[in-house]
Structure 1
Amino acid sequence: MSARADALPPAAEKPGAMQPRARFTAAPLDPQSRLWTLAAAAACLLPLLRQLPIPMALAIATIGAVIVTVTSRRRLPGWLRLLLAVALVGYVLASARFALGRDTACALLAAMLAIKPVELAGVRDARSLLGFALFAPFSTFLLDQGPLSLALGLVGVTLALAALLRVADLESGDIAHAAPPWRRLLGVWRLVAIGLPLALAAFWLFPRIATPLWGVPERALARPGLSDHMSPGEWIDFINDDTPALRVTFFGPTPPTSQMYWRGPVLWNFDGRTWTGSRWLRSLPPPAVTRAARTWDYEMALEPTERRQMVALELPVAAPDGTHLDHDYGLQAPRPLGTLTRWRMQSAAPVAFEPELRPYLHQLALRLPEGYNPRTVALARQWRLEAGDNDAAIVERALAWIRDDFAYTLTTPLLGRHSVDEFLFEQQAGFCEHFSSAFVVLMRAAGIPARVVTGYVGGYRNRYGDYWIVRRSDAHAWAEVWLAGRGWTRVDPTAAVAPERIYDTLADRAGGGGGGLAGLGGLTDRLAAVRDVADWMRRGWNDFVLGFDAARQQKLLQPLGIERLDPRGLIALFAAAATLAIGWMLWLTARAEREGDRLLRAWHRLGARYARLGFARAAHEPAGAWAARVAAARPGSDELQSLSARFAQWRYASLDGRTQGRRELDALVRALRRHRP
């Protein structure tokens, strides 16, 4: 081949040859933009992780941190990324026992967001990750709507939008003159301020319907709460949970703490280990009850449990609207309690509770499985022979035995086949599950109808809000025995052995009895006060945000003398507020479009100050010519000419010819704002 041919480029060598297709490459991320993207994604993921089970949340967070660390040096191969995604999805589904619900879907979203940084290489990847991350804060509200979730969600959204602005500056090629982080965050909150009035108007004034038109799927894993089954040792995690289960406000007199038994599911059936409720009894009407003269009037706010079971102070006079009162005076909600609910009720203690027991219920309340707990059955039969027909004497004898020989403890070994025998004759220590179950078995074996009742007992008065908090750790199980002439009578064997554990207050548990905070005195009081204030604030959030329903919306303007707003009035009020909010948005948007540049805004304000003195700048007049004209008419205007030259240099010089930096721009803006003619 000749030298001439060697000198020709390949295209000249073969004019008709096909040229290789140019490969598209996304703009790479600089380290600071990558850091912003990852920090924003982590902030969006945090509120969602808080709502997942702790082991699952730790696993997802750990995998995400490992991926970020590894991919900062090199990119993982495609087969490894696919294997990682499949393994993580399998772990989440296995942890949820392959049950589908909104918590499972949210956990899958969190897992996918944790491994998404494996693809983070360029601007397009960063924009994809940030857009995907914005789903996480909003998904959090499917699981929790508390103020902390809202605050963390707002932080995540703010950082994500600020990171998008950073990525936009990088893509435009003007990253050297990008705004500092604090100004970028301020710009995001300005955008929020533009839409906030319309959002508030829609929340407070848009007409609400009493019941939703649609719902969301139930959770695959229910939250801790009462259910219609109980096994010895099953409640250990439940009664160690100190989060609120309900808050109660009494109108008028308040019952003593020892009488605050919050009745839940009643358990009739025993298979030798587990107590369960009788489903067919729920359809029967409540039996006759003779009540005490004192009636307690109260409002109860129930925390979400994803279950239909409710509780009420013994015994509810009537079922609140929309609920069902079953045969055992247990309350059932029409749908799972997935959000905070509020109920107004009245209760009165029973004097005679179902004094006439139907034969089939009498037999059901005596039923025991064959071949279980022979020592307990033998002891009960011996007591029956000694007591004759005196059922009350047998009850008192059992309580005296428990009071003298038993102890209360949460540290219990797992019981075997004859669980009641092991508890009564060997272990003789446990908590409410063990005491109530053993007591009812003992009574049934002695021929006394008995059943287990679950619920909560006691409460803690918040000193700031003047309301009562019943926590999940107040979960309790007690017994009811049927006595002739009196009907079902409450007997609490746990209170016989440990009344201080049943009726104490939160402060007693924290500082009494030689506990970890005993002797700290004032510190314990201060911690309790802080906790009271925090719960009082949470209750306010529940009342004014989560509890704002259609009924409260219609009474929104009662402080202004308007007793009730009908739907037409609400629509008119919303339309007026929305019109003002949209006008605010349009004004701010148009103002930003006219003067989006802060340097230009400062320059226009300077011109307005001179215009008030008769030296307005003509629309066609350049900045330098205008400054020269003012200097000719007003000697000593050298500063204006200097500012005009600096403004023109920054505003109209090419990017390459611009020598000023960010600090010089800030100094120029400040000088324009300070200058007065």
Structure 2
Amino acid sequence: MPKPADANVALDTGSRLWTLATAAVCLLSLLVQLPASLAWGLGATAAVMAAAAWRRPLPVLLRIVLATAMMAAVLSVTGLRFGRDTGCALLAAMLAIKPTETSSLRDSRSLLGFAMFAPFAAFLLDQGPLTMSLGLLGVLSGLVALQRLADAEADAIADGPPPLRRLGLVGKLVVIGLPLMLAAFWLFPRFSSPLWGVPERALARPGLSDEMTPGGWLDLMTDESPALRVQFFGATPRTDQMYWRGPVLWDFDGRSWTPSPWLRTLPPAPVTPDNTAWDYQIEVEPTDRRQLVALDLPTTVPEGAQLSMDYAMRVRVPLSSLTRWRMRSAPPSRFDPQLPQALRQQALQLPQDSNPRTRALAAQWRREAGANDAALVDRALAWIRAEFAYTLDTPLPGRHAVDEFLFDQKQGYCEHFSSAFVVLMRAAGVPSRVVTGYTGGIYNPLGGYWIVRQLDAHAWTEVWLPERGWVRVDPTAAVAPERIYDTLEDRALAGGVGGLAGLTNFGNVSDWLRRGWNDLVLGFDASRQTRMLERLGAHGLGSGGLGVLFGLFALLALGWMAWLLARGERERDPLLRAWHRLGARYARLGLAREPHETAGDWARRVAARRPQGASVLFSLSRRFAAARYAANEGDHRALIEDLRRHHP
């Protein structure tokens, strides 16, 4: 079988550079979504491979070895569990070594076609404006590269338009297709649930989990990315009231805290809410988990979520995309005042033969306090306030981690304080548990909402006291209240610190723009689509009616595209384009050429009405007719310039 003709066409330098640049942009849309170490490795590999194969393709055996090594590198980072990120990382690895076999026209087209998969795969990991921008840039660059390859195949690179003109032509194609794209976005039926599922991630996103091990939140405590955004309707709580309740942890194995699975099946405990109530909406960034936070304590449960006995909220499907939840909350005045015996035993359990010094101290305090549980709580807080410090620089915990923290280190962050406090209280006979979530938030005046970031992750405790029930106690706030109730950004703005205040304002603008993207693009779901159509007077349209409406607008858009493309085909000849523009200039004077008129007839009619300048138009019309219809293959550039310069 003979080889295709384009398999033997060598690439010129410009076409190769455009092809490689397109592949690089498409690859970048994937790399920004992958772990940093893997992204840097794949990016460096792509650059080295493109340079190594610049003169000739690498040997087949070497390419096989490289492909095997790249797959092994990806799986060493993502593990053997296959997920969306694993597939995207493997695609990025293959795209990184694809330039090693690119030398001909056919190879370049193959590379471009393969590279176009990358932006679409990146949307499986993120749908933000950066991914959209890189994807659009990759598509535009790919169209320009395909234009150059077509000119190279026709041996017309030297006569082709310059790069900026090529970009202009591609931009026109995008504008022509814009109505069809808008029709698909606004009118294509949107479904409340996806038609098909996609694999979960192999690597977890940063965010709250249902497990806490002292020392395990270091990455989370330094992550400034938003976890959720909150907008209040009406009253707004003070910052020291903003405890965003997440998983509640009961079980302790001497090192890690986890929830009790059997408690999720129990109905929520009885609560008497305070007179204060907060109405708000939270916008949750994707976490791929089922934990949902709410302002402590939620009084309503949104559709799609459920409350456990301890008022931890979970959703039925993983939070793999941006979601919005409307809620109401109120601080409790009494929270489960009659603690069942089974729950009391659960809230007092501790592993045997662990933390002996803490147990001995708790027994001593119990003897001295008698039956006064509140006195035990106050004494522990006073001790922490007097002798402990807040820091993220902590050693790894040993076998008796709580003993080491309370008697040796006396410094740590919220995981250490909450874990040690609950162990001390349980050892003293006070039912207690760990609550995880977020605290505080940064107010963005541009959008009138609050930003809660990953570094606002926090762990506090709840102790059960007679007649009051569960009471929130935050031992971290006892030693570092600024960590909980104040933020660096707040102090900068209050104190007028110019540089930091400027960075904060830039962050507010950036997050406001991201929230606008979330609202206009990612948040345009089935309900928003229905409300938009109802405002336009289209009521009661089901999926079938929407399909018909979309089909109608799609046909109109396709007809408009066909008309523009046909018109562009007619106007592609620069001589004909210059002639039509001359006619448009005369039309503004009321002397437009009629469709049935020849060039000579039109010139004679114009001369009869406007004798001045008629000789120029006569000359141009004769030259145009000769060039257009007499098969004159000579140079038309002079005629085109004369047509452009003539202004009646």
TM-score (norm 2): 0.92
Q: 1:170 to 1:511 in 2, by over 3 A?
A: same
Q: Contact between 2:446 and 2:512, CA under 8 Å: does it hold in 1?
A: yes
Q: Output the aligned Cα RMSD.
A: 2.9
Report the counterpart of residue 230 of structure 2 in structure 1.
Answer: 248
**Aligned mates of 2:407, 2:236 — CA distance in 1:** 40
- Normalized against structure 1, the TM-score is what? 0.88
Q: Judge conservation of contact 1:647–1:668 (CA < 8 Å) in 2.
A: no
Partner of 1:11: none
What residue ranges of structure 2 are gaps of 5+ in the alignment? none
CA pair 189-377 structure 1, distance change in 2 beyond 3 A: same
Shift of 1:614: 8.7
Q: CA deviation at 1:204?
A: 1.1
Does 1:165 pair with 2:158? Answer: no
Note if contact 2:607-2:614 (Cα within 8 Å) is conserved in structure 1: no
The residue type equivalent to 2:248 in the other structure is: V
Out of 260, 264, 277, the position equivalent to 2:259 is: 277
Query: Could you tell me which of 483, 486, 489 is aligned with 1:501?
Result: 483
Q: 1:426 aligns with which of 384, 408, 415?
A: 408
Q: What residue number does 1:310 align with? A: 292
Counterpart-to-counterpart distance in 2, 1:409 and 1:587: 68
Whether contact under 8 Å (1:608, 1:616) holds in the other structure is no
| AA at the equivalent of 1:539 | R
Q: Which moved more, 1:563-572 or 1:44-53?
A: 563-572
**Higher mean C-alpha displacement, 333-342 vs 603-612:** 603-612
Unaligned 5+ runs, structure 1: 1-19, 513-518
Q: How big is the shift at 1:117? A: 0.5
8 Å CA contact 1:106–1:139 kept in 2: the answer is: yes
| Corresponding residue of 1:675 | 646
Q: 1:266 to 1:650 in 2, by over 3 A?
A: farther
Q: Which secondary structure does the structure 1 equivalent of 2:219 belong to?
A: coil
- For residue 596 of structure 1, report the CA deviation from its aligned partner: 2.9
Determine if the alignment matches structure 1 residue 600 to structure 2 residue 576.
Answer: yes
- Name the residue aligned to 2:309: 327
Counterpart of 2:122 in structure 1 is: 140
In structure 2, the CA distance between the partners of 1:382 and 1:137, relative to structure 1 (3 Å rule), is same
User: Aligned partners of 1:22, 1:287: CA distance in 2, in Å?
Assistant: 75
Task: Identify which range, 605-614 or 264-273, moves more after superposition.
Answer: 605-614
Alignment equivalent of 2:21, drawn from 15, 39, 52: 39
Q: Distance in 2 between matches of 1:644 and 1:125?
A: 49
The question of 1:351 aligning with 2:333 is answered yes
2:64 is aligned with 1:82: yes
How has the CA–CA distance of structure 1 residues 535 and 610 changed in structure 2, closer, same or farther, with 3 Å as cutoff?
Answer: closer
Match of 2:54 in 1: 72
Question: Given the alignment of the two structures, is residue 538 of structure 1 paired with residue 514 of structure 2, yes or no?
Answer: yes
- Distance in 1 (CA, whole Å) between partners of 2:8 and 2:407 is 75
Distance 1:97 1:367 in 2: 36
Partners in 2 of 1:648 and 1:46 — Cα distance?
Answer: 53
d(CA) in 1 for partners of 2:98, 2:278: 55
- Aligned position for 2:615: 637
CA contact (8 A) 2:462 2:471 kept: yes
* 1:233 to partner: Cα distance: 0.9
Q: Given that residues 442 and 490 in structure 2 are in contact (C-alpha distance below 8 angstroms), is that contact kept between their aligned partners in structure 1? A: no
Give the deviation of 1:21 after TM superposition.
8.9
Sort the Cα spacing of 1:618 and 1:355 in 2 relative to 1 into closer, same or farther, 3 A. closer
Contact 1:557 1:564 in 2 (8 A): no
Shift of 1:265: 0.4
Determine helix, strand or coil for the equivalent of 2:459: strand
For residues 117-175 of structure 1, what are the alpha-carbon distances to aligned partners after superposition, in whole Å with 9 as ceiling and x for unaligned?
00110111111111111111111111111112111211111001110111110011111
- 1:111 aligned onto 2:93: yes
CA displacement 1:476-504 (0-9 Å, x = unmatched)? 00011111111111110000000001111
Candidates 565, 582, 586, aligned match of 2:558: 582
**How far apart are 1:363 and its partner, in Å?**
1.2
Q: CA deviation digits over 1:246-301, x for unaligned, max 9?
A: 01111100011101100000111111111111112111111111111111111111
Shift of 1:36: 0.9
Query: Is contact 2:322–2:522 with CA below 8 Å preserved after alignment?
Result: yes
2-structure distance, mates of 1:651, 1:504? 81
How far residue 416 of structure 1 moved from its aligned partner, in angstroms, is 1.2
CA apart distance, 1:603 = 2.5
The answer to whether the 8 A contact 1:244-1:303 is kept is: yes
Other structure's SS at 1:461 match: strand
Assess if the C-alpha contact under 8 Å between 1:627 and 1:641 holds in 2. Answer: no
Distance 1:504 1:536 in 2: 22
Q: 1:396 to 1:564 in 2, by over 3 A?
A: farther
The answer as to 2:527 corresponding to 1:551 is: yes
Between 1:76-85 and 1:568-577, the stretch displaced more is 568-577
Counterpart pick for 1:182 among 156, 164, 175: 164
Q: For residues 669 and 545 of structure 1, what CA distance do their matches in structure 2 show?
A: 46
Mapping for residues 157-556 of structure 1, pairs under 5 Å: 157-508=139-490, 521-556=497-532
Change (3 A) 1:438 1:610: closer
- Report SS of the residue matched to 1:113: helix
- 1:15 corresponds to: none
Give distance in 2, aligned partners of 1:106 and 1:22: 32
> Distance between the aligned counterparts of 1:573 and 1:636, measured in 2?
53
Q: Is the CA contact (8 Å cut-off) linking 1:245 and 1:302 kept in structure 2?
A: yes
Partner SS for 1:183: helix
Q: Secondary structure at the match of 1:175?
A: coil
Distance 1:36 1:651, change over 3 A: farther
Q: Distance in 1 between matches of 2:387 and 2:249?
A: 27
- Deviation, 1:85, is 0.6
Q: Any conservation in 2 of the 1:406–1:497 contact (CA below 8 Å)?
A: yes
The SS at the match of 1:589 is helix
Match for residue 27 of structure 1? 9
Offset at residue 328 of structure 1 (A) = 1.3
Look up the equivalent residue of 1:550 and give its one-letter code.
A
Provide, for residues 441-489 of structure 1, a one-character-per-residue CA deviation record: whole Å limited to 9, x for no partner: 1111111111111000011110111111111110000011111111111
Q: 1:404 to 1:135 in 2, by over 3 A?
A: same
Structure 1 contact 308–332 (Cα < 8 Å) conserved: yes
Q: Measure how far apart 1:560 and its partner are.
A: 5.6
Which structure: larger Rg?
Answer: 1
Q: Given residue 154 of structure 2, which amino acid in structure 1 is its aligned partner?
A: S
SS in 2 for 1:479: strand
After superposition, the Cα gap between the structure-2 partners of 1:174 and 1:273, relative to the gap in structure 1 and judged at 3 Å, is same
85-94 vs 548-557, which moves further: 548-557
Q: Identity over the aligned pairs, expressed in percent?
A: 60
Tell me how far 1:242 sits from its aligned partner.
0.6
What secondary structure sits across from 1:176 in the alignment? coil
**Shift of residue 177, structure 1, vs aligned partner:** 0.4
Task: Give the number of equivalent residue pairs.
Answer: 642
8 Å CA contact 2:492, 2:501 repeated in 1 = no
For the 8 Å contact 2:273–2:333, the answer to whether it is kept is: yes
